[in-house]
Structures are given as C-alpha cells and as structure tokens.
Amino acid sequence: MRAMQISSDHPLLLRIVDELAEHGWSQQNIFLPMDLTRALAAECRKRAAEGELAPAAVGRGPTSEIREAIRGDRIQWIEPGQAPACDSYLALMDSLREAINRGLFLGLEDFESHFALYPPGAFYLRHLDRFRDDDRRTVSAVLYLNEAWLPQEGGQLRMYLKDRGEYDVLPTGGCLVVFLSGEVPHEVLPATRDRLSLTGWFRRRGNEPF
C-alpha cells in the first residue's frame, strides 16, 4: 500500500477546519476509504496478538500510573516506517495539520498517535486531553477502526459540548472525530466487543524550558 497523501486544501480538510473554528469539534463519518481502515485495524490486531499493546497509564512522566478504574485501554504508539497503512494515515494527518495551521494559525508542529484497544467492558472516565503541566496538545484526533459497529454494542465517545450538551459518537470504522484538546471534556463508554481506534494529538511548541 503506497502512502496516501491529499492536498491540505482538500474540501474535506477545509470542512474540518471550518467546524473546528465554529464549534470546537468536527465529526466526519467517512474520512478514510474502507481498505485503509481495514488495513489499520489489521495492524492493530496484529500488534495486540503479538503482545505489543500495553496498558495505558494516567498522567505523564514520573507521576504516570496504571489505573484501570479510570481507563482500561491497551495502547502502542505508531512511528513512521513501521507499516504502510500507518504511514498513509500519518501522511493524511500531516495534510490536516497544515490545513489547520493555515486556517486557524495554531502553530501546530507535529502529530503523535497510538493504537488503542478497549477490551469488552473497558472504559475511560471523563477527562480533558491536555495535561495540567504541559499545554502542547492542542487538537485531538480519533479515528475509529471497527467494521459494522452496532449501537447496542456500546463503546460511544461521549463529548460534553458547550453548544449541545452530551453528544455520543459511535466508534464506526472510518469515522474521524477532531476537537480542541483543552476545551472538550469526554469519556469512552464500555462496549461488548473489542473497540479499536487510533488516538492522536496535534501539538504546538510547549511552555516547557529547553
């Protein structure tokens, strides 16, 4: 699979930028073609089968700890050159980063992302994506990798929005949700089957000393 790239002025990316500017979040139900979504899901399952996904921690640095009463997903960070499907996704996210910078002047410098697998019953309690002591995470991006997901299977992303209160997103394969990291509280509800996603953050230069 060759790396997929689209122009940063593609109408789909511009729609995301406009919705971020107006509402602080955007939901695109068909962001990726199904073949790429399936390839990413297969990569996530392969890593899980090989024991490469580890329990996710709460917090950062030396104070981080595993607390399954708060979050129960297993994760692994993705890096360029690991898998063609991941490279295609990272290329798309870089185009989105450029589009956001051009439209909103946020000064986003990079993008970090990890696979997340929530086994049945796992959840993540309400939280914000920006750390108290590190303001680099500016825009969150969650891509879902679950084919033929049914509402009764749960696993919704529940966002607490200023303009409409609670809003649930089904984790359907190919759907992308983007929101301002420091302004949208959210949680992950438990599901009855494995729930796969790529969760990431566009980051600006931080307030930490060099």
Reading the chain (210 residues) residue by residue, the pLDDT tens digits are 445 668 888 999 999 999 999 999 999 999 999 999 999 999 999 999 999 999 876 555 555 555 556 778 899 999 999 999 999 999 999 999 999 999 999 999 999 999 999 999 999 899 887 766 567 889 999 999 999 999 999 999 999 998 889 999 999 999 999 999 989 999 999 999 999 999 999 999 765 543
Specify the pLDDT at position 55: 83
Distance from the first to the final alpha carbon of the chain:
39
Beta carbons within 8 Å of 76's beta carbon, 6+ residues apart: 47, 52, 53, 54, 114, 115
Q: Is the distance from CB of 40 to CB of 93 less than 8 angstroms?
A: no
Specify the pLDDT at position 57: 65
Specify the pLDDT at position 135: 78
Beta bridge partners of 195: 118
Instruction: Give phi and psi for 44, each to the nearest 5.
Output: -60, -45
Report the distance separating Cα 178 and Cα 193, nearest Å: 24
| Domain 11-53+70-190 superfamily per CATH | q2cbj1_9rhob like domain (2.60.120.620)
